[in-house]
Structure 1
Amino acid sequence: MASIDNTVPRIPAATWRRIETFVRDAVTVAAPQTSYSAEVLLWAAGQYVAWCVDTQLWPLEAEVIWSRQAIDLYVTDVRQDLAEGTRRNYRARLMRISEVLLPEEHGDAMTALGRKTTAAPYDSAEMGRYRQWAGSQLTPLKRYRAMLMLILCAGAGLRAVEIRDLDRADIEQLDEGFVVRVRGDRAREVPILAVWDEWMRAALEQAPETGRVWGKPNRSRENALLSSFTQYTVGSAPRGDRLRATWLVTHLSDRTPIKELFRAAGFVKFEHLGRLLQHVPDLSPDLSVPALRGEASR
């Protein structure tokens, strides 16, 4: 395998020195069991593993780096700069390595490429099951975090990274209800939907008095806070992006002013509005006509 010994991917030299043995070992094992050359696999693997350690700060552990979830995140969310065909090729190569090294990881379908997708919201029956899911977890900490996930995603539309960084002092109870203060690049205040007030009070009774409400995240997958939590829970778990979509559709159905929804969601632009509107109930004719004439009550 002389060709692989002379191949060096286009990544910083310091990073390559750190990951070279890990990448070469993976490719050496996987290449003979795939239709790809070792060189092709090494180019893709080198760039991907560099992202894992430099951007995600993940440890060089096979079960972390070669997980399907990590590869899916990289290809679907990170490499948007690449054409769809190129992204498919990247994923195919990385997935073949994963299939060889972690065969138990594979079975379910991956996120579809080739078209833009928007997470669908959950309906009321599904949300009822997820409330039961949260209460059925086997430890107090998992029940508490499952509650937080539902409250902050479905009740306030927060993203995983925003939950990760949320401090106990950022949640305040006002006369009107609970408000969450989100810090960072998308700083804002978000009122929690009233339906989650009782759960928020119960969760705060278990929350630390100071510091992050979530507690210490999984260091190896800190940027995948919710998925790294739910993979170790019992029962069918919700997805954070679909819970956030549920929050958005709840507000769209309640005719929340769009400018206020933009602000609360931390949007600069709302690219997927049209796809979410299909989940919003239509107005009856006796309401839609006055609304379009500017005669609806405000």
Structure 2
Amino acid sequence: MIDSNDMDWRSDGQFETETESYIDDIVKAAYDAPYPTSELTRTFSGLVRWAIELGLPIDREVVLSESILSAFIASGLPQYTDAGRANARSLLRAMRIALDGTVRPEPLSSSDPSAPYSNLNVRRLRSWADAQSTEEYRRDARSILGLGIGAGLTAGEIADLPGDAVRVGRTGVRVIVASGRLRTVQVRREWEEPLAAQAKVRTAADYFIRPKRTATSRNFLSNLVERSAGPAYRPQSQRMRATWIVQHLGAGTPMNVLMDAAGVQSLEAFMRFMRFVPDVPVVEARRLLRGDW
């Protein structure tokens, strides 16, 4: 398993800048596509950000492949009408045709954001949370870790989460994701306490993180983390989600259960994380394959 150190750490803000630059490069290269640049940018940006959240390689030959386009049109545009989805499909196919034969920009590097945190680095992130300047900020920081590492939520889902989305019951703590990829996520046991504590002081009128703000944005979480106090080693949303995914893959959580909890519709979303899953000892592998459960 890769154990990233301070030298290869990138914040959400840094990765966001690289993402926007990559999108701009692809759109410029597709200048022959018969659509306004603003439409190309908006639609391709939606595709790239959807692919990033699923953990797919950000390379134009991957994200513009027919299978990925079909998955994006089916699940990545929940607010679109059927006509809007058809137009998005036509636009992205036109981009693919326009890009054929052009020089390929370097794929967006994703090795750092997709690498899960080691146990040591999770402890470092807990230290960051504990170092915040007020009790409310400490609760928010611990909740960010709980929602990311304990429930696999994306940056946007964490930012948008309402105050009553975390439910505490006899079977543990659950997070209700009520927008975008609708689902209920059972929180991992070790992250239940900070989320339960936060839920006690939140109402439906609040946001779960920074409750009294009046709006949210795509960069809310990265801006909050970058402006926070404490150690320089701080959470990155994609790596938190990667940690959650790899922990479940390593624990043998059934794929259909994990897909539902992650809000994905294809096993392809997990393939890039398989290299981080610890090897199963030979004796255990034979026992499992034999069916001695």
Q: TM-score, normalised by structure 1?
A: 0.61
1:158 equivalent to 2:153? Answer: yes
Contact 2:146-2:194 within 8 A present in 1 as well: yes
SS at match of 1:190: strand
Structure 1 stretches lacking a partner, 5+ long: 1-66, 87-111
1:240 equivalent to 2:237? Answer: yes
Paired letter, 2:196: R
Identity of aligned residues (%): 28
What is residue 15 of structure 1 aligned with on the other side? none
Runs of 4+ in 1 over 6 A off after TM superposition: 83-86
Deviation digits for residues 110-152 of structure 1, max 9, x if unmatched? Answer: xx94356251100111101111110111123321221111010
Residue pairs, 1:74-113, within 5 angstroms: 74-76=20-22, 78=23, 82=27, 113=106
What is residue 296 of structure 1 aligned with on the other side? 292
Deviation digits for residues 12-40 of structure 1, max 9, x if unmatched? Answer: xxxxxxxxxxxxxxxxxxxxxxxxxxxxx
What is residue 110 of structure 2 aligned with on the other side? 117
Contact 2:19-2:108 within 8 A present in 1 as well: no
Q: TM-score, normalised by structure 2?
A: 0.62
Q: Distance in 1 between matches of 2:245 and 2:26?
A: 27
Q: Against the structure 1 CA distance between its residues 134 and 281, is the aligned structure 2 distance closer, same or farther, given a 3 Å change threshold?
A: same
What is residue 249 of structure 1 aligned with on the other side? 246
- What is the Cα deviation at residue 200 of structure 1? 1.8
Q: Against the structure 1 CA distance between its residues 284 and 163, is the aligned structure 2 distance closer, same or farther, given a 3 Å change threshold?
A: same
Q: Distance in 1 between matches of 2:125 and 2:153?
A: 17
What is residue 7 of structure 1 aligned with on the other side? none
- How many residues are aligned here? 203
Structure 2 stretches lacking a partner, 5+ long: 1-12, 32-104
What is residue 179 of structure 1 aligned with on the other side? 174
Q: Against the structure 1 CA distance between its residues 184 and 208, is the aligned structure 2 distance closer, same or farther, given a 3 Å change threshold?
A: closer
- What is the Cα deviation at residue 262 of structure 1? 0.5
Contact 1:218-1:225 within 8 A present in 2 as well: no
Contact 1:164-1:217 within 8 A present in 2 as well: no
SS at match of 2:266: coil
What is residue 218 of structure 2 aligned with on the other side? 223
CA RMSD of aligned residues (A): 2.8
Contact 2:139-2:194 within 8 A present in 1 as well: no
Could you say which structure has the larger radius of gyration? 1
